[in-house]
Chains A and B, each alone.
Chain A
Amino acid sequence: MTSITATTGTVDVGSLRGHVSPLDTLRQTILMAGRALQKMRRNPEQFFDAIVQPLLFTPMFGFIFGGAIAGSVTKYLPLLIPGILVQTALTTCMATGVTLREDMEKGVFDRFKSLPMSRLAPLAGPALADCLRYVIATTLTLIVGLAMGYRPGGGVLGVLAAGVLVVVAAWSLAWIFTFLGTVMKSAQGLQGVSMMIMFPLTFLSNAYVPVTSLPGWLQSFVNVNPVSHIVSAIRSLANDGAINGQVGWAMVGCAAVVAIFMPLAVRGYRRQA
């Protein structure tokens, strides 16, 4: 009972650590991810979007656009499934930012801030835990696609690689929303801004239509949109089992997003006051 007592008298200031080591940062990130998973388990509502979207959007887009764009639904699926994989992942990672924003309004973040802990871990932990939601969304989209008649030419390995790429891409793009979560005042506001980022990013890409069908000025945006590269990379992995330049560009795009938005998010979190 008495083993926990505060001390008084001379305080040994010299023994204080100057910073958090990378290993501690990693350890704390995993702890915070564990916390996020525990909360997901208690509030399964957080899986709602990851489960319903693939079940709803995949058939919806397939049957609406299939005939018009590719002649038939089955012919459209190789084009659509990679696109909808990315769109679903993006919508799911939008929630990462909103959940974080709501979480930061709670008192517990005061404690995280007052602890001598990594400033990255409270952001990176939930982002890591959300990979579970991306895995669920990706798996369900693929299952629905297969049920609708999607026969990916890349085989099991190609599809698996495509799935991994989707999850990595979602984790990377989630840093944009995490950053917004650290600088925006309210979860509602963040939701609105996120939608405005998400829609152009997914629809102004090659996710649903062949790029050649677009006007020239739009094509130039679509071609630099990282989402286009990610979609192309997933198409070549899943449909052809080919690792080509698009996969490389997708990885570079993801790395660039993380390199820009992770430090910005940490800075935003530090400056919250």
Chain B
Amino acid sequence: MSDLAVHARGLVKEFKGSGGVRAVDAVDLEVRPGEVFGVLGPNGAGKTTMLRMLATLLRIDDGEATIFGVDVKRSPHQVRQLIGVTGQYASVDEKLTARENLRLFGRIHGLSSKRAGATAVDLLGRFDLEDAADRTIAQFSGGMRRRLDLAASLISQPPLIFLDEPTTGLDPRTRGQMWDTVRDLVRTGSTILLTTQYLDEADQLADRIAVIDRGRKVAEGTSGELKASVGNSTLALRLADPDRLDEAARLVARTVGRTAGRTPESGRLTVPLDRADEAADVLIALRETEIGVVQVSVEEPTLDEAFLALTGEHAHDKDDPGRSNSSMSETDLTNEMEASR
């Protein structure tokens, strides 16, 4: 038996009806007690599906998973006593007030009426919801719902908390508040598995990160390790003429053999570099081709670049038009490089 909070081996979920597409495809996961583990990936990568399987909400089609050594498939009832789940869409009752919700969940957990009431008051205070305690959830803002949802997950003081995209759809200020709440939880010793599509969120909160793309785990490590995997530094350029972005990217590929990240809207180009002095090679090449540059900086790579580098392989797939700002595919580049010889 493992001492890990979450131990998954070869997790598979196949949805019928979508041509047998594997939403989660042979994912391994190890979450240690007391850490915040981030599952990072674009929309539709299979993050939520994976989390729902671990939380006994979806059947595991293949593979094994244990929560603190308890088998998820064989003993779902026991697993449910170890976890708290906060869903992407608030899993509280819209028609009831905040207090009624917390009391109901407390009573379901077997607390006496009095203790359930006290727990509700305690949690409402802790999550700064006292003023809204007797309003129905339908009148709550997005941020308040998430906080109440998280509060409801803590009633039984579970050793493991699942947070599914805790800040998706929240405004920046509310997002910051949610992050603080999560950090507080970490201080009290909770183990947290959170999914997110925001790199800065993973960077801010998670001790370790697994990057998931199209149902597969494409990388895992601390945010530092993931950043390091794309090179030691990043050259960031802003072109005078954004229309020449593709041309510039091809030039970069020829000069230093690297895939550049492109942001067409702002005419920005980011180039991961092994050595900072490669920056000079790029700049000279641009000057020779008379591509104007209005801004230059050499930065530590961000998790963004790591993410694009890790998930960018199929950015040009026709069935996925939603990710046009990722880096050029390797095959494209190879063709370009060959054509230029």
Are A and B genuine complex partners? yes
Whether A4 contacts B110 in the complex (CB less than 8 A), given A106-B94, A108-B91, comes out as no
Which B residues from 122 to 137 make CB contacts under 8 A with A? 122-123, 125-126, 136
Asked whether B70 lies within 8 Å of A6 as measured between CB atoms, the reply is no
Task: Check if A192 is an interface residue, CB within 8 A of chain B.
Answer: no
Task: Report 7 cross-chain contacts, Cβ distance below 8 Å, ordered by A residue.
Answer: A6-B190, A8-B33, A13-B69, A16-B82, A24-B110, A108-B91, A116-B78
Assembled-state Cα–Cα distance A112/B75 (Å): 17
Interface centre among A19, A39, A116 (most CB of B within 10 A): A116
Known A4-B155, A39-B96, A111-B91; further 15 A-B contacts with Cβ < 8 A: A4-B126, A6-B189, A8-B33, A8-B159, A24-B110, A31-B104, A31-B108, A35-B104, A106-B93, A106-B94, A108-B91, A110-B87, A114-B80, A116-B78, A116-B81
Asked whether A7 lies within 8 Å of B81 as measured between CB atoms, the reply is no
Asked whether A114 lies within 8 Å of B56 as measured between CB atoms, the reply is yes
Asked whether B110 lies within 8 Å of A35 as measured between CB atoms, the reply is no
Asked whether B122 lies within 8 Å of A3 as measured between CB atoms, the reply is yes
Asked whether B57 lies within 8 Å of A20 as measured between CB atoms, the reply is no
Give, as a whole number of angstroms, the nearest-CB distance from A183 to chain B: 16
Give, as a whole number of angstroms, the nearest-CB distance from A12 to chain B: 9
Whether A8 contacts B93 in the complex (CB less than 8 A), given A13-B70, A16-B70, A114-B56, comes out as no
Q: Which chain B positions have C-beta within 8 A of A19? A: 77
Give, as a whole number of angstroms, the nearest-CB distance from B251 to chain A: 50
Q: Which chain A positions have C-beta within 8 A of B109? A: 115-116
Task: Check if A117 is an interface residue, CB within 8 A of chain B.
Answer: yes
Which B residues from 50 to 72 make CB contacts under 8 A with A? 55-59, 68-70
Asked whether A107 lies within 8 Å of B91 as measured between CB atoms, the reply is yes
Asked whether B157 lies within 8 Å of A7 as measured between CB atoms, the reply is yes
Give, as a whole number of angstroms, the nearest-CB distance from B155 to chain A: 8
Cβ contacts B16-45/A at 8 Å (1 or 0 each) = 000000000000000001100000000000
Asked whether B68 lies within 8 Å of A273 as measured between CB atoms, the reply is no
Whether A5 contacts B122 in the complex (CB less than 8 A), given A38-B96, A107-B89, A113-B57, comes out as no
Assembled-state Cα–Cα distance A115/B81 (Å): 7
Q: Which chain B positions have C-beta within 8 A of A7? A: 157, 159, 189
Interface residues of B (CB under 8 A from A): 33-34, 55-59, 68-70, 75, 77-78, 80-85, 87, 89-96, 100, 104-105, 107-110, 119, 122-123, 125-126, 136, 152, 154-155, 157-159, 161, 185, 188-191
Assembled-state Cα–Cα distance A38/B101 (Å): 11
Interface size class of chain A, counting residues whose CB lies under 8 Å from the partner chain: 35 or more
Q: Which chain B positions have C-beta within 8 A of A111? A: 85, 87, 91-92, 105, 152
Chain A, Cβ-Cβ closest to B118: A3
Give, as a whole number of angstroms, the nearest-CB distance from A17 to chain B: 7
Q: Which chain B positions have C-beta within 8 A of A1? A: 122, 125-126
Give, as a whole number of angstroms, the nearest-CB distance from A15 to chain B: 9
Cβ contacts A90-114/B at 8 Å (1 or 0 each) = 0000000000000000111111111
Give, as a whole number of angstroms, the nearest-CB distance from A5 to chain B: 4
Across the A-B interface, give the 9 residue pairs with the lowest CB-CB distance, nearest first: A8-B189, A6-B190, A5-B188, A111-B91, A116-B80, A107-B91, A114-B85, A16-B78, A110-B91
Asked whether B185 lies within 8 Å of A6 as measured between CB atoms, the reply is yes
Q: Which chain B positions have C-beta within 8 A of A106? A: 93-94
Task: Check if A43 is an interface residue, CB within 8 A of chain B.
Answer: yes
Asked whether A9 lies within 8 Å of B81 as measured between CB atoms, the reply is no
Give, as a whole number of angstroms, the nearest-CB distance from B97 to chain A: 9
Assembled-state Cα–Cα distance A126/B108 (Å): 15
Q: Which chain B positions have C-beta within 8 A of A108? A: 91-94
Give, as a whole number of angstroms, the nearest-CB distance from A90 to chain B: 26
In the complex, which of the residues B58, B92, B96, B123 contacts A107, with contact meaning CB atoms closer than 8 Å? B92
Asked whether A4 lies within 8 Å of B68 as measured between CB atoms, the reply is no
Asked whether B55 lies within 8 Å of A5 as measured between CB atoms, the reply is no
Task: Check if A28 is an interface residue, CB within 8 A of chain B.
Answer: yes
Task: Check if A18 is an interface residue, CB within 8 A of chain B.
Answer: yes
Q: Which chain A positions have C-beta within 8 A of B89? A: 107, 110
In the complex, which of the residues A5, A16, A18, A115 contacts B108, with contact meaning CB atoms closer than 8 Å? A115
Assembled-state Cα–Cα distance A183/B58 (Å): 15
In the complex, which of the residues A3, A4, A5, A28 contacts B189, with contact meaning CB atoms closer than 8 Å? A5
Asked whether B68 lies within 8 Å of A13 as measured between CB atoms, the reply is yes
Q: Which chain B positions have C-beta within 8 A of A114? A: 55-57, 80, 83-85, 91
Assembled-state Cα–Cα distance A43/B125 (Å): 29
Whether A31 contacts B107 in the complex (CB less than 8 A), given A11-B159, A107-B91, comes out as yes
Asked whether A28 lies within 8 Å of B158 as measured between CB atoms, the reply is no
Give, as a whole number of angstroms, the nearest-CB distance from A243 to chain B: 40
Q: Which chain B positions have C-beta within 8 A of A42? A: 95, 136
Interface centre among B84, B108, B109, B188 (most CB of A within 10 A): B108
Asked whether B57 lies within 8 Å of A117 as measured between CB atoms, the reply is no
Q: Which chain B positions have C-beta within 8 A of A9? A: 33-34, 189
Q: Which chain B positions have C-beta within 8 A of A35? A: 93, 96, 104
Give, as a whole number of angstroms, the nearest-CB distance from A6 to chain B: 4
Assembled-state Cα–Cα distance A154/B76 (Å): 53
Assembled-state Cα–Cα distance A109/B52 (Å): 13
Q: Which chain A positions have C-beta within 8 A of B56? A: 113-114
Assembled-state Cα–Cα distance A8/B87 (Å): 22
Interface centre among A13, A106, A111 (most CB of B within 10 A): A111
Chain A, Cβ-Cβ closest to B190: A6
Asked whether B190 lies within 8 Å of A115 as measured between CB atoms, the reply is no
Q: Which chain A positions have C-beta within 8 A of B100? A: 38
Q: Which chain B positions have C-beta within 8 A of A16? A: 70, 75, 78, 81-82
Give, as a whole number of angstroms, the nearest-CB distance from A249 to chain B: 38
